[in-house]
Amino acid sequence: MKAIRSMVLVSGDQESMKHGALEVFIAIQQQLAVFGLAEEITVSMVNDISKPGLDPLVLVYPDAVIYGGVTPDDVPFLVEEHLYKGRVVEEKRVSPYDLTGRIAWLSARKGTLPAENRIVLKNVGLIDPENIDDYILSEGYEALGKVLREMTPEETIAEIKASGLRGRGGAGFPTGLKWQFVSGAKGDKKYVICNADESEPGTFKDRLVLEGDPHAIIEAMMIGAYSVGADEGFVYIRGEYRLAISRMQKAIEQAEAYGLLGDHIFGTDFSFKLHVHAGAGAYICGEETALIESIEGNRGEPRPRPPYPTTSGLWKKPTLVNNVETLANIPAIIRNGAAWYKAIGTPSSPGTKVYTILGNVNVTGLIEVPMGITLREVVSIYGKGMKNGSSFKLAQTGGSSGSIIPASLQDTPMDFDSFAKAGVSLGSGALLICNEEVCVVDLAKVLLNFFRFESCGKCNPCRIGNSRSYEVLSNIAEGVGTEQDLKDLQMMADQLYQLSNCGLGQTAGSPLRDILAHFRAEVEAHIKLKVCPAGVCSMSGHRVYQID
C-alpha cells in the first residue's frame, strides 16, 4: 500500500442521497483517477454525518475542512484545487456558524493522518524467520548486546519505564513497573514467560510476530530476564499455532548454536535457558495464572490473586509474564531510546498498536499504526470503506472480552485512556467491523456461546452466568424473550464483572452490558415486537396466528 496522505468522506444518509451524494462520490473517485491520486487518497461514504440544508457534505482530512451542498459539477474544481494543489476552496466551505452538533466535532479533528508505523512488525515479511543471520543483519541482538555490556538491570528497567510502554495483552499495565516488581521480588530463582496463548477471537497479531520474527521475542525475553534477574524462560504458544511453535523452536536452536542463548552470553555473567511450551487448546490459558498452572502440568484454572505472579508465579517463584506484542517493542526501545518511543502515539499510551481488521470491510488484514487513530480512520483508510457501500453499525474490539463500540464512538481516539473514559476497552487489538446486517442479539449470542464453551468452570459466576446468559439470549433470538430477561441480562453482566475469579470471567459480561447500553431498542424490538430488525434471528418460537 502506498502511504495515504488524505482521506475524503462523503455523507451518505438518505437526505444526502436525495441530493446527489452518490454522484458526488463517484465523481470524486473519477477525478482522483484523472489526477493520478487514487492510490494516496481514500474516499468513503459515511452514513452518520449530515446537516440539513447543506447535504451532501464532503469532508477532507487531515485538514478537517468541511464542504457543504456539493454537486457533481463542483467536484473537478474541488479535487484540482484542494487535493491536487492544496488550496482550500473557501466558497464551498461550510460556514463556521453552521459547524454545530456532530460536524463541529469532526471539524475539530485536525491533524496528520496515521500512516503505518512498523516497530513490532518491522521485520515481519521482510526477513527469513528461519535464518538467524537475517535477523542479525537487521539490527538483531544489538539491543541485547547494548544492555549486557553498557547498562545495569536498574538502568534497563528505568529506560522501559521512561518509554511509557504499556502491556499489549489487553489490560494496558505499565511494562516497566511490572519489571520493577519482579526485580524487587525476593527469590533465588526467577522466570520469564512470554504469553503467546493468543486465543481472543479475531486476534492473530501475535501469531504473525512469532511466525515472522521469532528472534525478536527471544531477544526481548533475554533483556527482560537480565533486568529482573531471571535465568530461565518459557514461550507458551497455543497448540493450534503449529508453524509458530516450529519456528520458535528453530530460532532457539540457532541462537544456542551462536552462543546467544546459554551460559555467559557476550562473555558476561548472564546465562539464560529458553523452552517452548505448546498449549493444548484452552482460551483460559491466556490468563497468566492459568497459563502458569498449565506449564506446571495442571488444568488451566486461574489462581486467586494476590499473590500476583510477580512475587509468586511459576513453581511459586517470582515470574515476569509479558505478551508477545509487548515484548516485540522492547529491542526497538533499547536501540532507539525511551524518548524516541515516547514521541510516537499519544502521551498516555505511547507507541504503536497492531490491529487485525475483520468483518464487513473491503480489505481485511493486519496493520500497525500509532496509538490514537480513530475507528473511522481505520475503516476508511485501511479497510477501504464498508463492504458493498453498507453502513457502519458497530465494531467489536479485542475479541470476545473487548467492547461493542457503537457508531457514536467512531471518532474516539483509540488509546487506553480515551477508551477507558468512553467506557469501552481496546482489548487485544481485533477490530471486527459490522454493518447493519449484523444483529446485536445474534452477535452477543455467538460471543456468549464462546464463553460458555471456554469457561474453565472453576468459579460459579462464570460457569453458570455464561451458560444462563446464552440461554436467555437464545430465547430472545427465538422470539420468546420477556421483559424480565432484560433485567436478568443486566444482573448477570454485573455479577460476572463483580464476582468472577479471573479477568476473563470479569470481562465475559461486557457484550451483554454493551448491547444493553448502546442497542437497547434493538434488543427490546426482539422482546416486545417479536421482530429482529436486522432480519437475522429466526424468531421461530413466536407463532403468528392469522384469521382467514
**Under the criterion CB under 8 A, does residue 535 sit at the interface with another protein?**
no
- Which one of 297, 521, 544, 547 is in contact with another protein (CB under 8 A)? 297
In angstroms, give the least distance from the CB of 455 to another protein: 11
Enter the C-alpha cell of residue 341: 518511543
- Which one of 298, 482, 484, 540 is in contact with another protein (CB under 8 A)? 298
Closest CA to 160 of 309, 335, 311: 335
**Under the criterion CB under 8 A, does residue 198 sit at the interface with another protein?**
yes
**Under the criterion CB under 8 A, does residue 1 sit at the interface with another protein?**
no
Number of chain residues interacting with another protein (CB under 8 A):
49
Nearer to another protein, 240 or 488 (CB): 240
Nearer to another protein, 44 or 400 (CB): 400
Residue 530 C-alpha from the chain's centroid:
35
Say if residues 540 and 502 touch (Cβ distance below 8 Å): no
**Which is it for strands 58-61 and 65-67: parallel, antiparallel or unpaired?**
antiparallel
C-alpha 105/C-alpha 88 separation (Å) is 19
φ and ψ of 196, to 5 deg: -120, 35
Nearer to another protein, 34 or 243 (CB): 243
C-alpha 479/C-alpha 489 separation (Å) is 16
Helices (H), 164-236: 175-184, 205-212, 214-228
C-alpha 382/C-alpha 478 separation (Å) is 37
In angstroms, give the least distance from the CB of 150 to another protein: 36
- Which one of 41, 54, 65, 358 is in contact with another protein (CB under 8 A)? 358
State which of positions 138-197 bind another protein (CB under 8 A).
none
Say if residues 233 and 273 touch (Cβ distance below 8 Å): yes
Nearer to another protein, 413 or 427 (CB): 427
Cis peptide before 533 (omega within 30 of 0): no
Helices (H), 337-415: 338-342, 375-377
- Which one of 47, 183, 294, 346 is in contact with another protein (CB under 8 A)? 294
**Under the criterion CB under 8 A, does residue 539 sit at the interface with another protein?**
no
**Under the criterion CB under 8 A, does residue 533 sit at the interface with another protein?**
no
Question: Which one of 118-126, 256-264, 326-334, 362-370 is the stretch in contact with another protein (CB under 8 A)?
Answer: 362-370
In angstroms, give the least distance from the CB of 489 to another protein: 18
In angstroms, give the least distance from the CB of 296 to another protein: 6
C-alpha 499/C-alpha 9 separation (Å) is 45
**Under the criterion CB under 8 A, does residue 323 sit at the interface with another protein?**
no
Question: Which one of 65-73, 82-90, 161-169, 357-365 is the stretch in contact with another protein (CB under 8 A)?
Answer: 357-365
**Under the criterion CB under 8 A, does residue 201 sit at the interface with another protein?**
yes
**Under the criterion CB under 8 A, does residue 300 sit at the interface with another protein?**
yes
**Under the criterion CB under 8 A, does residue 360 sit at the interface with another protein?**
yes
State which of positions 227-286 bind another protein (CB under 8 A).
238-242, 277-283
- Which one of 456, 477, 537, 539 is in contact with another protein (CB under 8 A)? 456
Nearer to another protein, 142 or 232 (CB): 232
Q: Which residues, other chains included, contact 142 with Cβ-Cβ below 8 Å and sequence gap of 6+?
A: 331, 335
Q: Which residues, other chains included, contact 520 with Cβ-Cβ below 8 Å and sequence gap of 6+?
A: 486
**Under the criterion CB under 8 A, does residue 434 sit at the interface with another protein?**
yes
Question: Which one of 47-55, 70-78, 359-367, 460-468 is the stretch in contact with another protein (CB under 8 A)?
Answer: 359-367
354-to-42, 111, 326, 349, 396 alpha-carbon distances in Å:
21, 21, 10, 13, 15
**Under the criterion CB under 8 A, does residue 73 sit at the interface with another protein?**
no
- Which one of 107, 199, 312, 349 is in contact with another protein (CB under 8 A)? 199
Closest CA to 189 of 148, 144, 225: 225
Q: Which residues, other chains included, contact 335 with Cβ-Cβ below 8 Å and sequence gap of 6+?
A: 139, 142, 143, 146
38-to-2, 6, 30, 33, 255 alpha-carbon distances in Å:
10, 10, 9, 5, 45
**Under the criterion CB under 8 A, does residue 99 sit at the interface with another protein?**
no
Provide the binding-site residues for another protein, judged by CB under 8 A. 198-204, 207, 238-242, 277-283, 294-300, 356, 358-360, 364-366, 396, 399-400, 430, 432, 434, 438, 443, 446-447, 449-450, 453-454, 456
